[in-house]
Amino acid sequence: MNINNIKKIGFEILKNADIYNIQFEISCLICEALNISKIEFIKKNLNLNSLQIKKCVNYFRRRADNEPLQYIIGKCEFMSLMFKNNNHVLIPRQDTETLVQLIIKNFENKSCIILDIGTGSGCIAASLAYYLKNSFIYALDVSDKALNVAKENFKNLGVENKIKIIKHDILKCFPKIEEKINIVVSNPPYIESENIKKLKNEIKNYEPTIALDGGSDGLVFYKKIISGIDVDNEVFVAFEVGFNQAQNVKKIMEKKLINVFIKKDLSGFERVVMGTYKPICNC
Ligand code: GLN
């Protein structure tokens, strides 16, 4: 059996699945199963042994069962960097690049200490550490399994010396960090608990609920973080929000922050809300 035959089998198995770009996904699954590049993939004379065929078919079946491509191949690109991921962490989304880009744009060439709350795969923390040369990041998460993935990503991307991992439950209290934090960033869980069951199968059946569930109104993490920020220096806060949450999050932020702005993502949704905390000066 050669590459063309296995492509056809992939198509047969996946043609009825709800996949936006089926040919692309089949090529990714085959390349990963055979451990070949996209260049080798176009060599039609590449023959497959029975073990390789079995592996490809296994990947196709998992995908047909709605398992996300990124979990099957175990990796995902974000901000032009490659991240390992598995079902203990949320798959990095393109929307989140808007949040990361905004911070990079505002803090390029400045030295800054950043707190990333709910780091998951570590995609936000690692990208900021990678592109902001004078930054240091505290990456927080409640899940040990997620922190293991993040740790591996930080190491693979060569930024492990610029990031300190902290296991912490933000819902219990705001973390005590000795250094002055300049930026608080978070893409917290923000789906209303009731709506989780309405999400697509590939999300609700595979991505960790703990990374999705934002409580009954979807806003519990924003409220907790904003009420917890109690620092004595200026801090910039930037959140990713659900497509219809920006105005609500803005209101929450305005209780404590000034200059609260909303930024749209590339699809035109209000995706990022940011603001600044300025301590009241009694002098
Ligand atoms: N910070 C990670 C990301 O943006 C994880 C987010 C989460 O688990 N809610 O992908």
Mean per-residue pLDDT over the chain, rounded: 94
Is ligand 1 within 6 A of the CB of residue 121? Answer: yes
Query: In this predicted structure, what is the pLDDT of residue 115?
Result: 97
Of all atoms in ligand 1, which is nearest to the CA of residue 78? 10
Residue 195 pLDDT > 80: yes
User: Which residues form the domain of 120?
Assistant: 79-277
pTM given for the model: 0.94
Q: What is the mean pLDDT of residues 192-207?
A: 97
Does residue 143 sit in the same domain as residue 259? Answer: yes
**Does ligand 1 lie within 6 Å of residue 123's CB atom?**
yes
Are 45 and 177 found together in one domain? no
Q: What separation, in Å, do the N-terminal and C-terminal C-alpha atoms of the chain show?
A: 79
Residue 237, token pair as written in the block: 């806060």
Whether residue 95 is found in the same domain as residue 158:
yes
- pLDDT, residue 280, reads 62
Residue 188 beta carbon below 6 angstroms from any ligand 1 atom? yes
Overall domain count for the chain: 2
Asked if 144 and 236 sit in the same domain, the reply is yes
Same domain, 40 and 141: no
Q: Which of 36, 65, 94 is the last residue of a domain?
A: 65
- Co-location of 23 and 125 in the same domain: no
Tell whether 70 is covered by a domain: no
pLDDT in tens, 82-105: 999 999 999 999 999 999 999 999
Quickly list H helices, 43-94: 50-64, 69-73
Domain boundary among 43, 65, 87: 65
Contact 241, 270 (CB under 8 A): yes
Helices (DSSP H) in the chain: which residue ranges? 3-14, 22-34, 38-41, 50-64, 69-73, 95-107, 123-131, 144-156, 201-204, 220-228, 246-254
187, 191, 213: residue to mutate for ligand 1 pocket, most atoms within 8 A of CB: 187
How many Cα atoms occupy the beta-carbon half-sphere of 39 within 13 Å? Answer: 0
CA-based nearest residue to 253, from 170, 192, 184: 184
Query: In the predicted model, is pLDDT for residue 282 greater than 60?
Result: no
Rounded to an integer, the average pLDDT of 68-82 is 97
Contacts of 160 (CB under 8 A, 6+ apart): 151, 154
Report the distance separating Cα 254 and Cα 252, nearest Å: 6
Is residue 74 domain-resident?
A: no
> Residue 59 C-alpha to ligand 1 middle, in angstroms?
25
CATH of the domain at 273: 3.40.50.150
